[in-house]
Amino acid sequence: MVLRLWALPQAAAGISCDRMIDAAFKAFSQLFTQPLRAVLMKAVGLALLLIVIIGIVLNRVFAALAASGATWAEQTSGMAPHAAWATLAWVLSIMASLGIITGALFLMPAVTAFVGSFFVDEVADAVEREHYPAEPPGHALPLLRALIEGVKFALLVFAVYLCALPFIFLAGLGVIILFLANSYLLGREYFELAAMRFRAPHEAKAMRKSNAAYIFLAGMVIAVFVSIPLVNLATPIFAMAYMVHIHKRMSGKRVELIEKTR
């Protein structure tokens, strides 16, 4: 283990906490510049639309299930008047709606990750033009590749959240588990998206694995961001901009050298 940590690239070893914080401030401040502000509005609008559609569909499904369940119980038991069962169905539908709203807050990383897959290259291009104008720009990811990565990540987050859900009621242990899971998953996803603009997918994954500790720490910054209600709608824009800086600093001059030899 010691040998593995010692073997980390020199450039990666230079990524200290203050540099991570500096990258986070640069990414956040650029959210309000004209190029990223336009992307931010599109991403937030699409995320809200997606959440509303999912919420309406699930609400209709749960309300229908509650109504059919109450009707079945009324016909089977015959122990209470119709009004009582109708009231129960209404209460259950309201509880389901509240559950959907709560679930939407917890599943925000999955939703924003899928939405962000449409805009990763616009964000990366803006960051590279603003902060790294002298270096060759990255290559845009094929839309299909970005969408596949976004869907895979969303499904993975959903699966992790389902596993962590039972621990929510154990003295807040689930909250800690979700934060650590978000740190790992968000750091992994957005770093690979940033790295794949300069490297083949397998090279991006290998770089992420060899610097896993640093990527995890960087992911904690994104996990804090995504835990703030409403602000977390901007997560894909902030996270992609942030990881562009992290990847550049880990790569040092290697990105430029790779681009020139192609």
pLDDT tens column, 148-180: 877 777 777 777 777 766 766 665 677 788 888
- How far, in Å, are 70, 71, 84, 90, 94 from residue 81 at the CA level? 11, 11, 6, 15, 21
Burial of residue 75, with CB atoms counted within 10 A of its CB: 0-12 exposed, 13-18 middle, 19 or more buried? exposed
Q: How far is CA 152 from the centre of its chain?
A: 11
Domain ranges of the chain: 10-44+107-260
Q: Which of 129, 127, 157, 161 is nearest to 244 (CA)?
A: 127
* Global confidence as pTM: 0.74
How far is 62 from 180, CA to CA, in rounded Å?
31
- Looking up tokens 């995890």, which residue turns up? 216
Higher local confidence (pLDDT), 246 or 86: 246
Whether residue 212 is predicted with pLDDT greater than 50 in this model: the reply is yes
Higher local confidence (pLDDT), 213 or 69: 213
Q: How far is CA 69 from the centre of its chain?
A: 36
pLDDT tens column, 57-82: 776 776 666 666 656 555 666 555 55
Higher local confidence (pLDDT), 67 or 130: 130
As a whole number, mean pLDDT of residues 27-31 equals: 90
Confidence at 247, pLDDT banded by 50, 70, 90: very high
Whether residue 2 is predicted with pLDDT greater than 60 in this model: the reply is no
Whether residue 129 is predicted with pLDDT greater than 80 in this model: the reply is yes
Other C-beta atoms within 10 Å of 125: how many?
Answer: 17
Task: Count how many residues are written for the chain.
Answer: 262
- Looking up tokens 């309300």, which residue turns up? 63
- Give yes or no for a contact between 194 and 181, defined as CB atoms under 8 angstroms apart: no
How far is 221 from 238, CA to CA, in rounded Å?
10
Residue 230, token pair as written in the block: 């409403």
Higher local confidence (pLDDT), 251 or 240: 240
- pLDDT in the model for residue 191: 93
- Give yes or no for a contact between 237 and 116, defined as CB atoms under 8 angstroms apart: yes
How far is 182 from 160, CA to CA, in rounded Å?
9
Q: Give the type of residue at 145.
A: R
Task: Using DSSP, state whether 101 is helix, strand or coil.
Answer: helix
Q: What share of residues in the chain are helix, strand, coil (percent, to 5)? A: 80, 0, 20
DSSP state letter for 166: G
How far is 204 from 196, CA to CA, in rounded Å?
6
Percent of the chain with pLDDT over 70: 67
Percent of the chain with pLDDT over 90: 16
As a whole number, mean pLDDT of residues 221-239 equals: 86
- pLDDT in the model for residue 244: 94
- pLDDT in the model for residue 42: 85
How far is 80 from 20, CA to CA, in rounded Å?
62
Strands of the chain, DSSP E: none
- Which has the minimum average pLDDT: 1-10, 94-103, 175-184? 1-10
